[in-house]
Structure 1
Amino acid sequence: MPIIDVTTQVVSAPLHTPFVTALRRTTTTDTVVVTVTDTDGHRGYGEAPQVWKVTGESLAGARACIDGPLRAAVLGRDPDDLQALLRAVRGAAVANHGAKGAVDVALHDLAARRAGLPLARYLGGAADTVRTDVTLSVDEPERLATAARARVADGFDVLKIKVGTDPVGDVARITAIRAAVGPDVQIRLDANQGWTPRQAVRAIRAMEDSGAGIELVEQPVAGHDIAGLAHVTAHVDTPTLADEAVYGVRDLLAVIQQRAADMVNVKLAKSAGLGPARTLLELAAAAGVGTMVGSMMETHVGLGAAASLVAAYGTTAVSDLDAAWWISDTPVVGGIRYDGATVLLPDAPGLGIEGVVDPPMHTEP
């Protein structure tokens, strides 16, 4: 019962609110959805999001890689020989992490469907719900305070605040948010590489002195600057989380060896799929490094896979799985759902996705 087809589809899903970070502003989630089909008609889904400012990968590049060498690597092969298939995908091209991750997830989804198991159970877990934080985009203090109150009213108790545009202004933003939501809501920061090491230390110390109660700070400096990240980690009390600094095992080993961060954010589009992501989580746990699973701006396909990974493996901190929550018109039939801060995994084989359609394009008012 071999794999008989590998197809791709470009999807652009509108967001209900613009998503703004230190690196970019977007009103859509733009991604390539891959479908892997076997002779019995079972389908597995994965996706490769376009993330110019992080991975550098485009829709056209991901699609070309999937339609070319990755398709050739798996076509005609036994879908139950999963580990051999994953090795073939990893060796079929250099880099192209998002494209590889899409095919890796689709192969896992297909294998779980063939086994009649939800993906989380196929990965060895039993949970059918996981918690997520919610992100607040870069904005002015007053509007951020209003947005923070709204998200708490929606049921979220962990807020991820995008900072990194202005160290002094960032302190004012966090102070306003803390005053708006009170002491019981967790606040974490994501600078998206926006600070220099010196700016990061100054800003984080100011927030510590203000009593803002920051849970962690994600990627305060440039991803390539491991020494700078280590400097920040050594000079603040707030835990630091490596994101853009870690794509694969070599990167995580460098962070561990240099004690550059207290935690690591594992993302499928960076690590090239569930197989490598599982290795990163296990390595981090063995080294005493904290973990969470995150996402790019992805649809319910990628988020379903990430949530299934968390359900099976667990993390030391609430994971960052809200990306599909931002989508106002889902392109997916079936799959995960959101109930406030809870991601509900479907009780259906694989990712539980019945199909993917391209929703209407979003236009600015």
Structure 2
Amino acid sequence: MTIAAVRTHRLSAPLHTPFVTALRRTTTVETLVVEVVDADGRSGYGEAPQVWQVTGASVAGSEACVRELIGPAVTGRDADDLVARCTEVQRVVVGNEAAKAAVDVALHDLAARRLGVPLVRLLGGTALRVPTDVTLAAGEAVDLAAAARQRRAEGFGVLKLKVGTDAAGDLERVRAVRSAVGNGVRIRLDANQGWTPREAVRVIRGVEDAGLDVELVEQPVARWDLDGLAWVSDRVDVPILADESVFGVRDLVEVIRRRAADMVNVKLAKCGGLHPARTLLDLAAAHGLGTVVGSMMESQVGIGAAASLVGAYGTTAVADLDAAWWLAWSPVRGGLRYEGATVVLPDAPGLGISSVTEVKMQAHS
């Protein structure tokens, strides 16, 4: 069955709470949803989130890439020849991982729909329930403590605390959150490249000496500073999770070669989709690295694909897939839902998405 059209939809949806990290502050999700349509009129969906400060991807840039290069490369080709189509997606353009991810996921979603199975089944798994952490946006200690208590009351057992905006005050922030939730909740830290290597070691050792029981520390230093990342990893006991330092396979190979981190966070919008994401997970496992699957600020489209990957492949630590939970309303019909700290995938073909909401959306063929 041939691919008849590749369409793009621009989405803007508000968050119920501002999302603040060491890199940015946002109150909306700005994203591009890609729709791949076969000759029978079936549609598969994928997503390219706009994240200027992390991937450099924009809605306009991803849309141009899909419309001018990736879309024409797959239109008219066999939708059922999934590996070949995904390989073409990766080869047709340099970079543009978010655009590649959107088309890659849409092709997978369409293939699962054509077979009448959930995407997780197409990927080789059966789990429709995937636990997730929830993020505590960067802020002052008292506000973080209040947010932590609320998230715990809502059923979340793993809290990801955004730090890195102020190294001098970060230990107190961690202390406040631990005091607020007690010992029954896991806490992980994400500095989003906000510390220098020396600051990272100072803060992490302070956390260790205070007995605050932090599960892991994500991307403590600048993404390009692999020597600094390795220097930190060598000097602390808490596992270090590489995020922005690893986009694709070559990045992960270098992290492994330098022993720069203990774990890797795999994100579809960083690596280019489900096809390369599976390679990253296999490579990490082969070299004894821990794994997390995370996301950018995305809708149910991107989170559904990432959760399906976790449902099929698993990870060594709880996934980081709360992004769609932050949305004030859903920009899509159908798809996943949240039950407390669990992403619940629909027992329906593909991602289970029936349409993209027309509100604040522009469609192009």
Same fold (TM over 0.5): yes
Q: CA contact under 8 A between 1:13 and 1:358: conserved in structure 2?
A: no
Per-residue CA distance 1:281-337 (angstroms, 9 max, x = gap):
000000000001000000000000000000000000001000000001101100000
CA distance in 2, matches of 1:94, 1:103: 15
Check if 1:162 corresponds to 2:159: no
Counterpart for residue 353 of structure 1 = 353
Could you say which residue in structure 1 is the equivalent of 2:5? Answer: 5
On the 8 A contact 1:49/1:296 being kept in 2, the answer is yes
Q: State the distance in 1 between where 2:360 and 2:3 align.
A: 31
- In the other structure, the counterpart of 2:55 is 55
Q: Following superposition of structure 1 onto structure 2, how do residues 129-148 of structure 1 map, counting pairs within 5 Å? A: 129-148=129-148
TM superposition shift of 1:360: 5.8
CA deviation digits over 1:73-120, x for unaligned, max 9? 100011000011011111111100000000000000000000111000
8 Å Cα contact 1:330-1:359 kept in structure 2: no
1:89 aligns with 2:89: yes
Answering whether residue 124 of structure 2 is matched by residue 124 of structure 1, we say yes
Mind listing any 5+ residue stretches in structure 2 that lack a counterpart? none
The secondary structure found in structure 2 opposite 1:142 is: helix
Question: Which of structure 1's runs of 4+ aligned residues deviate more than 6 A?
Answer: none
* Correspondence list, 1:280-295, <5 A: 280-295=280-295
SS in 2 for 1:253: helix
| Contact map agreement 2:128 2:344 (CA 8 A) in 1 | yes
> Does the aligned pair in 2 maintain the 1:14–1:360 contact within 8 Å?
no
Name 2:68's counterpart in structure 1. 68
What is the aligned partner in structure 2 of residue 174 from structure 1? 174
Q: 1:358 to 1:200 in 2, by over 3 A?
A: farther
**CA distance in 1 between partners of 2:60 and 2:29 (Å):** 15
1:10-29 CA-to-partner distances (Å, cap 9, x unmatched) read: 10011000000000000000
Q: After superposition, give the CA deviation of every residue in 1:136-155 in whole Å (9 maximum; x if it has no partner).
A: 00111111100000000011
Using the alignment, how far apart are the partners of 1:21 and 1:286 within structure 2? 32
Partner of residue 77, structure 1: 77
Q: Which position in structure 2 is the counterpart of 1:254?
A: 254
What 5-or-longer segments of structure 1 have no aligned partner?
none
Deviation per CA, 1:202-225: give whole Å up to 9, x if none: 010011111111000000000111
One-letter identity of the residue aligned with 2:269? A
Give 1:359 shift. Answer: 4.0
2:27 matches 1:44: no
SS in 2 for 1:316: coil
Hey, what does 1:314 align to over in structure 2?
Answer: 314
Verify: 1:226 aligned to 2:226, yes or no: yes
TM-score normalised by L of structure 2: 0.98
SS of corresponding position for 1:305: helix
Give the 3-state SS of the residue equivalent to 2:351 in structure 1: coil
1:151 corresponds in structure 2 to 151
Secondary structure of the residue that 1:183 maps to in structure 2? Answer: helix
Amino acid at match of 2:276: P
Distance, in Å, in 2 between the alignment partners of 1:18 and 1:255 is 32
Give secondary structure in 1 for the equivalent of 2:183: coil
Give the equivalent residue in structure 2 for 1:30: 30
**What's the Cα RMSD here?**
0.8
Deviation at 1:358?
A: 4.2
Distance 1:151 1:18 in 2: 15
Assess if the C-alpha contact under 8 Å between 1:329 and 1:359 holds in 2: no
Identity of aligned residues (%): 66
- Provide the C-alpha distance between the structure 2 equivalents of 1:353 and 1:118, rounded to a whole number of angstroms: 11
Q: How does 1:186-265 map to 2 (within 5 A)?
A: 186-265=186-265
TM superposition shift of 1:41: 1.1
Q: Counterpart of 1:204 in structure 2: which amino acid?
A: I
Q: Structure 1, residues 178-235: CA drift from partner, whole Å, max 9, x if none?
A: 0000011000000000001010000100111111110000000001111100000000
Q: Is the 8 A contact 2:11 2:360 kept in 1?
A: no
Partner of 1:266: 266
Describe the SS at the equivalent of 1:70.
helix
The 8 Å contact of residues 284 and 291 in structure 2, kept in 1 or not, is answered as yes
